[in-house]
C-alpha cells in the first residue's frame, strides 16, 4: 500500500501578497485608527470648548444687557421729578403702569428712613402688607444710601411675597444730591430662568447662574438641596466656576458633565453651562464607529481596490470638509460645485446637494434670526432693543459732530378702549394702521420704533427741536384725519406726542436722558387732554402751558 505524503502548501507570491495585504491592512488600520481616535478626541474637546465659550459669550451679552436695561429703568424712575418730590399719587400710578410693561414683579418706594411708602403688589390690596415695612436693614437700602449709586442684589427673600427675588435699587437724590430714599424693583427667579431659556439657541446643555457663595439665582432642572431658603451648589461646582476653564465633574444630579463658566455682573456672579458627556461625545462616538466599520470592511478588499476607492472617497470628502470649514468660519453662503462631484458615487452627490441646501438654509435662518431680534413682527418697525442699541450710537455721533438730535415719543390715545370695544385683532390692525401713517409722515433718516404696547418712538438725527415739532404735528394731524375703517365701522384714532431735543436743553447729555425727557413730555401731553404735543423747553422742563 503506497502511503501518500503530504507536501506543505507552496509559499506562493499570491499567498505572500495575501498575507502581506492582511498585515499591511491591519498595521495601516492601527496607524490610522489610533491617531484618528486621539485627533478626533482633541477636536471634539476643542469644539465643545469653543461651542460652550460662544454660548456663554452670547448668554453673557444677553443677560448683561438685560441687567443694564433693568438697572437703567430703576435709575430713570428714581430721577423722575414727581418721585423726587414724594408725589405718591402720581408715583403710584406711574409705578403700576410701568410694572405692567416690564419684567418687574414689584416696584417699591422707600423713604429715607427706610420705611416702605407703597409698592405695586400691596398698594391696591385691602391689607396693605408691605406698606410701612422697615427695610433699612436690607443691603440694597444701605448700599444705595452709602454709595448713592444703583445697586443689584444677590438672591434674597421678599418680605412681602416671601419668595426669592433679585432687587434692582437706585437712590432718590434731592436737588442738593442728598439721599432721600430708594426705589427698587423686584424680579422673580422664574423670570431669569425664562430669559436664559429664551436665549438658548442650538445648545444641547443647560445654563444657570450662581453668586460668589454658590447660591443659585436660577433653577432650570436641577434638583438642588435647599438650605436657609436658598439653593446652593456643591463646593466642587463653585470651585470649578471660579476657574472659568473647561471642567469635567458630577453635576447636582450626580451625572458626569463637561462644564464651563464665565463671570458676569462685574464678577459678582458666574454663569455656568453644563453638557452631559453623552451629548458632548456623541459625535465622536459616531465618527469612531464609522471609522472602525470602514476599517473592518476595508480589510476584505485588495490593495488595488483600496487605492481605487480611496481616490473616489478622498476627493469628495475633501470638498465636503472644505465646505464645512467655510461654514464654520462664517461663510454661510459657501456652495460646493456639484459638477465636480458628478463622476463620484451618488451618495456623495446627495451629500453635496444636502450640504448646499443646509448652507443656504443656515444663511437664511441667520438673517431671519437677526431680523427677528430687532424687528416688531406686527408693525414691521424696529423694536425697543434696536432703539436702545442704535439710539446711543446715533446720539453719540450727533454729539461728536455737534449736530442737533431730537426724540419724539408717541402714544395712541385710549387704545385700551379700542381693544375692549373691538377686540385685540382689530386693535392689532389699528396699531399697524398708525405705524404706516407714522412711517409715511417722517423722513427716511428718522429711526421709527415700536417702543412697547401702543407707544412709538422716533429718533431724528441732525434735527432741530423746531423741525421735530413740525414732524410730530404732521404725524398727529395725519393720524387724526385718517381714521381706521373696518367693514362699515370707522374708528377715529388720535395720538399724544412728547418731544425732546439735544441742543436746546442743558439737562440732556445722553440718549437715555433724551428718551426720558420725551417720555415725560408725552406723559404731560396725555395728562393735558391727549391729541396734542408737549415739548421740553430750553431748561429741560416739560412745557405744559401751550400746545405746539
CA distance linking residue 31 with residue 207, whole number of Å? 40
Query: 123, 274, 454, 513: which one is catalytic?
Result: 454
Query: Residue 539 to residues 513, 542, 543, 545: CA-CA distances in angstroms?
Result: 13, 9, 10, 14
Task: Please report, in angstroms and rounded to a whole number, the separation of the first and last CA atoms in the chain.
Answer: 134
Are the C-beta atoms of residues 220 and 189 closer than 8 Å to each other?
no
CA distance linking residue 54 with residue 49, whole number of Å? 9
Phi and psi at residue 445, in whole multiples of 5°?
Answer: -80, -15
CA distance linking residue 293 with residue 250, whole number of Å? 32
CA distance linking residue 536 with residue 521, whole number of Å? 6
Cell triple for 46: 476643542
CA distance linking residue 118 with residue 87, whole number of Å? 12
Are the C-beta atoms of residues 467 and 504 closer than 8 Å to each other?
no
CA distance linking residue 249 with residue 274, whole number of Å? 10
Cell triple for 168: 434692582
Q: Does residue 143 sit in helix, strand or coil?
A: helix
CA distance linking residue 190 with residue 188, whole number of Å? 5
Q: Give one DSSP letter per residue of 403-469, joined into a string.
A: --EEEEEEEETTHHHHHHHH-HHHHHHHHHHHHHHHHHHS-TTSEEEEEETTEEEEEEET--HHHHH
Side-chain-side CA neighbours of residue 343 (13 Å): 6
Alpha helices in 336-423 (DSSP H): 346-374, 384-400, 415-422
Is 454 annotated in the active site? yes
Residues known to be catalytic: 454
Amino acid at each position: 500500500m503506497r502511503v501518500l505524503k503530504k507536501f506543505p502548501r507552496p509559499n506562493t507570491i499570491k499567498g505572500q501578497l495575501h498575507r502581506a495585504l492582511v498585515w499591511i491592512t491591519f498595521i495601516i488600520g492601527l496607524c490610522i485608527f489610533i491617531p484618528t481616535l486621539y485627533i478626533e478626541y482633541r477636536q471634539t474637546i476643542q469644539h465643545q470648548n469653543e461651542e460652550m465659550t460662544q454660548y456663554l459669550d452670547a448668554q453673557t451679552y444677553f443677560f448683561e444687557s438685560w441687567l443694564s436695561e433693568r438697572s437703567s429703568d430703576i435709575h430713570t424712575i428714581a430721577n423722575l421729578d414727581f418721585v423726587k418730590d414724594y408725589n405718591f399719587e402720581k408715583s403710584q400710578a406711574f409705578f403700576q403702569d410701568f410694572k405692567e410693561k416690564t419684567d418687574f414683579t414689584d416696584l417699591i418706594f422707600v423713604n429715607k428712613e427706610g420705611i416702605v411708602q407703597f409698592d405695586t403688589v400691596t398698594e391696591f390690596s385691602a391689607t396693605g402688607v408691605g406698606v410701612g415695612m422697615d427695610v433699612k436693614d436690607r443691603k440694597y437700602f444701605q448700599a444705595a444710601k452709602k454709595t448713592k449709586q444703583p445697586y443689584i442684589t444677590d438672591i434674597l427673600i421678599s418680605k412681602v411675597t416671601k419668595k426669592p427675588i433679585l432687587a434692582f435699587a437706585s437712590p432718590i437724590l434731592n436737588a442738593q444730591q442728598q439721599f432721600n430714599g430708594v426705589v427698587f424693583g423686584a424680579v422673580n427667579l422664574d423670570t431669569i430662568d425664562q430669559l436664559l431659556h429664551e436665549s438658548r439657541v442650538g445648545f444641547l446643555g443647560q445654563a444657570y447662574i450662581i453668586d460668589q457663595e454658590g447660591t443659585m439665582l436660577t433653577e432650570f432642572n436641577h434638583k438642588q438641596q435647599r438650605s436657609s431658603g436658598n439653593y446652593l451648589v456643591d463646593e466642587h461646582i463653585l470651585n470649578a466656576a471660579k476657574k472659568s476653564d473647561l471642567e469635567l465633574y458630577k453635576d447636582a444630579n450626580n451625572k458626569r458633565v463637561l462644564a464651563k463658566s464665565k463671570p458676569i455682573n462685574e464678577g459678582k456672579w458666574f454663569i455656568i453651562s453644563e453638557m452631559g458627556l453623552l451629548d458632548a461625545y456623541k459625535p465622536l462616538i459616531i465618527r469612531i464607529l464609522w471609522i472602525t466599520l470602514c476599517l473592518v470592511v476595508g480589510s476584505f478588499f485588495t490593495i488595488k481596490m483600496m487605492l481605487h476607492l480611496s481616490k473616489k472617497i478622498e476627493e469628495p470628502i475633501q470638498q465636503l470638509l472644505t465646505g464645512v470649514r467655510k461654514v464654520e468660519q462664517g461663510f454661510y453662503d459657501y456652495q460646493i460645485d456639484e459638477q465636480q462631484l458628478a463622476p463620484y458615487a451618488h451618495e456623495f452627490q446627495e451629500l453635496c446637494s444636502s450640504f448646499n441646501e443646509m448652507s443656504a438654509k443656515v444663511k437664511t435662518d441667520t438673517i431671519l434670526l437677526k431680523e427677528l431680534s430687532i424687528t416688531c413682527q406686527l408693525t414691521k418697525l424696529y423694536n425697543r432693543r434696536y432703539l436702545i442699541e442704535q439710539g446711543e450710537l446715533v446720539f453719540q455721533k450727533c454729539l461728536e459732530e455737534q449736530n442737533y438730535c431730537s426724540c419724539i415719543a408717541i402714544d395712541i390715545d385710549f387704545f385700551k378702549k379700542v381693544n375692549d370695544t373691538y377686540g385685540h385683532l382689530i386693535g392689532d390692525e389699528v396699531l399697524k394702521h398708525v405705524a404706516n401713517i407714522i412711517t409715511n409722515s417722517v423722513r427716511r433718516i428718522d429711526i421709527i420704533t415700536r417702543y412697547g404696547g401702543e407707544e412709538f418712538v422716533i429718533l431724528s438725527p441732525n434735527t432741530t427741536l423746531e423741525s421735530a415739532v413740525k414732524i410730530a404735528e404732521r404725524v398727529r394731524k395725519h393720524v387724526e384725519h385718517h381714521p381706521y375703517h373696518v367693514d362699515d365701522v370707522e374708528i377715529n384714532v388720535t395720538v399724544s406726542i412728547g418731544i425732546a431735543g439735544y441742543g436746546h436743553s442743558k439737562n440732556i447729555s445722553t440718549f437715555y436722558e433724551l428718551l426720558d425727557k420725551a417720555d415725560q413730555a408725552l406723559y404731560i401731553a396725555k395728562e393735558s387732554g391727549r391729541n396734542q404735543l408737549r415739548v421740553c423747553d430750553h431748561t429741560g422742563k416739560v412745557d405744559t402751558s401751550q400746545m405746539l
